[in-house]
Each structure stands twice: as structure tokens, then as C-alpha cells.
Amino acid sequence: MNAHVTATQSDPILTVSNLAVHFGGLVAISDASFSVAKGEVVSLIGPNGAGKTTAFNVISGFLPATHGEVIYNGRRMGGLKPHEIADAGLVRTFQKTSVFGNNTVLDNLMIGLHRRGSGSVWETLLLSPRIRRQEEEFRDEALQLLEFVGLAHRSAELAGSLAYGEQRLLEVAVALAADPTLLLLDEPACGMNPTEAMAFRRLLAEIGKRDITVLLVEHNMRMVMGVSDRVVVLNHGRIIANGPPAEIQQNPQVIQAYLGHGPKHA
């Protein structure tokens, strides 16, 4: 947790302003505003159906907002396609694993890195010296990323053969391959046992050392309270609290809506 970083000490890298999302008569998000400062780990929590993944989908361009705007690095994201937002440095993972199960773990990383490739079709088909050098650089970077997330020893195995928690780690590695400045993680610890979850907490700290800001949706409250600089709480599409973990754990509205009766359940 980067407790020294606060929204007042650093310019926001992400600003969500008066966000509303309606599906016909259903209001998924009614009016949500929050910001994420550079270097922060901010968690977005709330009961099922509160609007967390909907917010992620709007921020990352997979869903249009009914009202409001998303500003990333001073640039309005409205109307941009998901790949354009990712190219700008705002990268996300998903609730359900999206690895290529029939490819090796290493190839999954190579596929992610190839999005950054610059060769023409002919150079690629003919394997020009520049393309060969680029391939070697990508392979080295892929292996380094697998080492970083703790999967280097599984590089030659099929991604589909990995345990679910390991597939989540592979997704994070693929997201890191896109060279993000803001990483949106949607329930990354889902399916992890307590040992894996603790290791993932350490990984989040290492990600922060790479000057990557993190916005996290996660149901593991022990992790949320242990890694977050701030916690934003959604309930029925509205933000009911926004503050440091210790404050959120004591907030009566949050306890009633989500955490249960007191911090011992957090």
C-alpha cells in the first residue's frame, strides 16, 4: 500500500465525473464521481449488482455512459474504442479468465506483446532481421514478466492446464505486457487460495514500484483493506463512501450495506 500517496498530493490520472449508466429502465449507475491519483491503489467495492463491473466497462470503453465522462491523463475517453484506450495506457483484466487455453503460457505473453509490434506485413512474413530482433526482445520481455508474476516455471505449459489462480496471474502478466500506466483489475484474486492471495498482495506492491497506478475491484476484503490507499464503495449505483481503509471499515453505511457487523468481517 502506498499510504504516502493521496489524491491531494498528486494529480489525478483518472477522473470519473457524474457517471450514469442506464439499461432501458434499469439504472446500473445513477451518479458516480471519483478520482484516482497517480501512484495510488484504489479499490472499488460493493455488493453484487452495485455497479462495479459496469463502471469498469465504461472506463475501459466496453460500454458507453448514459451521462457523465471519464478523463484519463487529461484526455476524455468518451467515444474511444477499447483498443484505443488500452493503447493510451489504460489496461484492464476481466472477471472471467480470458487466456488462450490452447496456447502455451509464453505464447499468451507473446500474443500480448505483438500488439506493440511495428513491422509491416511483408517484414513479418519474410522474418526480416528487424522482425527477428523484435521477436527476441519480446521473448526476453515475456520471460521477464512471467518471472515477475511467478509463472516462469510454467512458460512451456498450455495456459489451459494452469490452476485458476495461476490463470489470473497470467492475465495480469498479459495486461502488464501492454505497458499500462493505469491497470484496472477486475476480481484478480477470485479463485485463489489464501497463500496465493497473500502472494498476490505482494505482487500488487511490486506493480506499484513500476509506477503503475491500480484500480481494483475485489471481494476479498482482507486484500482490499491490506493493499488500498483508498476505498470507494458503491451501493445501488451510488457512491456511499470514499476514504482510507480504516475509515471505510468503521463507516456505518458501509457496514450495513456490505461489510457486515463490524470490521471483523472485513
- Summarize pLDDT for 19-48 with one digit per residue, the tens: 999 998 888 999 999 999 999 999 999 988
Helical ranges in the chain per DSSP H = 52-59, 82-87, 105-114, 121-126, 129-149, 164-177, 194-209, 221-227, 245-249, 252-254
12-99+180-265: which CATH number, 3.40.50.720, 3.40.50.1000, 3.50.50.60, 3.40.50.300? Answer: 3.40.50.300
Asked if residue 148 lies in contact with residue 178, where contact means CB atoms within 8 angstroms, the answer is: no
Closest CA to 35 of 22, 57, 19, 48: 19
pTM: 0.83
pLDDT tens, position by position, 173-201: 999 998 899 999 998 888 788 888 888 98
Task: Determine the Cα–Cα distance for residues 233 and 217; give it in Å rounded to an integer.
Answer: 10
Residue type, 134: Q
Q: Which helix (H) or strand (E) holds 15?
A: strand 12-23
Q: Name the grid cell of 146.
A: 512471467
Q: How high is the pLDDT of residue 8?
A: 43
Q: Can you say how many angstroms the Cα of residue 89 is from the centroid of all Cα atoms in its chain? A: 12
Q: How high is the pLDDT of residue 2?
A: 53
Residue 166: C-alpha distances to residues 42, 59, 101, 180, 214 (Å): 23, 26, 12, 21, 20
Domain(s) of CATH 3.40.50.300: residues in the chain: 12-99+180-265
Question: Is 143 in a helix, a strand, or coil?
Answer: helix
Residue 115: C-alpha distances to residues 17, 23, 65, 68, 177 (Å): 30, 33, 27, 30, 9
Q: How high is the pLDDT of residue 97?
A: 65
The segments of the chain whose pLDDT lies below 70 read: 1-10, 95-97, 114-128, 130-131, 259-266
Q: How high is the pLDDT of residue 111?
A: 83
63-66-67 Cα angle (round to 5): 120
